[in-house]
């Protein structure tokens, strides 16, 4: 490609400078400029081809998520809830899959593993929320009165804080994934009291208005009856 490009440049230069190649500075300068432009074009083409190659390899890898390699063979993975008991003997086919043992092992996704994963057993400070099955591991959480922050690995359940410190009130009780949440009393107490007062006032106002309306309606009906 480089030789072809340079040859084209040379032909064009011979048209511009009839005596090319010569020692003339003008022709030498033009030759150097054209050659540099040619090399830049070649470099850009190489970069584009390499980028396309990387994209193609990435797409190929994405499409091969349902396969696993066994030597030179490419075998189809087994479905969730099973494991590979025997690898394929012909590429692009599936070997022998065998179901995991219910309540003891599982596989959550497509797998090329020769065994299922062992089900988790809840720790003494945890309780079981949902049991293990062939496609899902056991789900455990901390027992009542203890918690484990959800954003950290749960290695140990911590005891819930018993009460809020002085000057604060409880906003949210302790649960399996977080401790109690306390807020300043000015927010938690006064704010709630104001809401309660407004709610009660609204209900009483509505009730009084209704009673007055019914009373006036009754008086009007009595007057109409007297006139008749």
* 82-134 tens-digit pLDDT: 999 999 999 999 999 999 999 999 999 999 999 999 999 999 999 999 999 99
pLDDT of 13 above 50: no
Out of 20-29, 58-67, 201-210, pick the least confident: 20-29
Q: Locate tokens 């003339």: which residue?
A: 24
Identify whether the C-beta of residue 107 lies closer than 8 Å to the C-beta of residue 135: yes
- Is 15 a residue whose pLDDT tops 60? no
Residue 25 has pLDDT above 70, yes or no: no
**Residue 209's pLDDT band (boundaries 50, 70, 90)?**
confident
Q: What is the DSSP string of 90-110?
A: STTSB-EEEEPPTTTEE--S-
Q: Are 137 and 120 in contact (CB under 8 A)?
A: yes
| Token pair in block for residue 33 | 């400029």
Would the pLDDT of 152 be above 50? Answer: yes
Q: Please name the residues in contact with 180: beta carbons below 8 A apart, sequence gap of 6 or more.
A: 160, 161, 164, 170, 172, 173, 174
DSSP 18-33: TT-SSS-HHHHHHHHH
* Chain mean pLDDT for the chain: 78
Are 203 and 222 in contact, with CB atoms under 8 Å apart?
A: no
Residue 195 in this model has a pLDDT that exceeds 90: no
What integer pLDDT is reported at residue 1 of this predicted model? 52
């Amino acid at each position: 490609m480089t030789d072809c490009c340079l040859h084209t440049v040379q032909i064009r230069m011979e048209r511009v400078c009839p005596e090319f190649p010569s020692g003339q500075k003008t022709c030498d300068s033009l030759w150097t400029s054209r050659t540099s432009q040619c090399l830049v074009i070649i470099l850009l083409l190489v970069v584009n081809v390499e980028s396309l190659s990387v994209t193609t390899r990435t797409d190929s890898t994405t499409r091969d998520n349902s396969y696993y390699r066994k030597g030179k063979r490419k075998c189809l993975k087994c479905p969730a809830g099973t494991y590979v008991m025997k690898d394929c003997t012909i590429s692009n086919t599936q070997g022998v899959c065998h179901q995991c043992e219910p309540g003891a092992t599982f596989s959550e996704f497509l797998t090329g593993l020769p065994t299922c994963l062992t089900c988790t057993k809840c720790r003494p400070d945890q309780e079981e929320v949902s049991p293990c099955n062939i496609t899902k591991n056991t789900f455990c959480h901390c027992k009542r009165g203890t918690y484990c922050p959800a954003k950290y690995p749960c290695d140990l359940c911590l005891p819930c804080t018993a009460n809020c410190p002085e000057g604060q009130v409880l906003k949210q009780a302790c649960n399996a994934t977080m401790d109690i949440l306390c807020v300043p009393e000015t927010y938690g107490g006064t704010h709630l009291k104001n809401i309660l007062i407004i709610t009660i006032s609204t209900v009483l106002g509505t009730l009084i208005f209704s009673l007055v309306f019914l009373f006036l309606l009754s008086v009007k009906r009595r007057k109409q009856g007297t006139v008749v």
